[in-house]
């Protein structure tokens, strides 16, 4: 039990340093980044769910259309592949804690982006973002999909900077 807790704590710390980590398998790839943010989860959640405002604070998103609401589809362009429009469906939203966007169709090729917010004991908020892409077609496409690590790190850094800037405003 103690070993399990230690592993969980180490994992959280690893995911809070702002550095992305990618795990590759034959039929899937998963990139994860985490960072601790000194701001209310309400502010972070508001930033993550206001599509019209993304390009102002997030240097990895060049355009975003649609509403970030359950069952809605959003279209976004990222610096990852500037010419491509990513169409994503909002699959799950639990206010202030969890959101999932998905694209593609299983079992051939599917992408799932998960955002998680959890409050730390010291009042900061741990933000984690992961994306798992995979399916039967993945081994053929894997070589042409760029790595997500740098973009994920930039995303997390931008979110941290913006949320903390808002939080530190004058009363």
Partner 1 sequence: MPTIDQLNADFEACKGQLKSYLLRMTASVEDVEDIIQDTYVKAHANITSFKGKSTLKTWLFAIASNLARDLLRSQKRWPENVTDICREAALSNRDFLGEMMGIRMNSPQGNFEIKEHITFCFACVSKSLPLEQQLVLLLKQVHDFKVKEIAEIIDNSEAMVKYYLHTARQKMIDIFDHRCSLINQKGICHQCTELNGIFNPKQDAQEELVKIDMVKKAKDKDKEQLFDLRLDIIKSIDPYDSPASALQLRHLKHNKEVMDRHLKEK
127, two tokens? 């933000």
Task: Tell me if 40 contacts partner 1 by CB under 8 A.
Answer: yes
Interface with partner 1, residue 39, by CB under 8 A: yes
Phi, psi of 4, rounded to the nearest 5 degrees:
-60, -45
Which range touches partner 1 (CB under 8 A), out of 8-16, 46-54, 84-92, 147-155? 46-54
Nearer to partner 1, 12 or 40 (CB): 40
Candidates 43, 68, 90, 151; binder of partner 1 (CB under 8 A) is: 43
Indicate whether 116 belongs to the interface with partner 1 (CB under 8 A). no
Binding to partner 1 by residue 166, rule CB under 8 A?
yes
Rounded distance, CA 118 to CA 3, Å? 22
Instruction: Indicate the residue among 46 and 100 with the shorter CB distance to partner 1.
Output: 46
Residue ranges binding partner 1 (CB under 8 A)? 39-40, 42-43, 46-47, 50, 53, 56, 165-167, 169-171
């Amino acid at each position: 039990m103690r070993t399990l807790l230690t592993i969980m704590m180490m994992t959280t710390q690893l995911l809070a340093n702002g550095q992305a980590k990618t795990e590759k398998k034959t039929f899937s790839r998963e990139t994860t980044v985490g960072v601790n943010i000194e701001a209310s989860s309400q502010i972070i959640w508001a930033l993550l769910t206001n599509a019209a405002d993304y390009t102002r604070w997030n240097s990895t998103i060049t355009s975003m259309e649609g509403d970030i609401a359950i069952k809605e589809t959003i279209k976004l362009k990222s610096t990852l592949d500037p010419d491509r429009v990513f169409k994503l469906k909002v699959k799950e939203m639990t206010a202030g804690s969890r959101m999932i966007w998905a694209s593609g169709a299983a079992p051939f090729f599917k992408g799932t982006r998960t955002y998680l917010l959890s409050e730390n004991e010291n009042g900061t908020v741990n933000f984690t973002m992961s994306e798992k892409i995979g399916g039967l077609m993945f081994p053929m496409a894997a070589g042409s999909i760029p790595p997500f690590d740098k973009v994920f790190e930039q995303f997390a850094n931008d979110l941290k900077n913006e949320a903390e800037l808002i939080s530190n405003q004058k009363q």
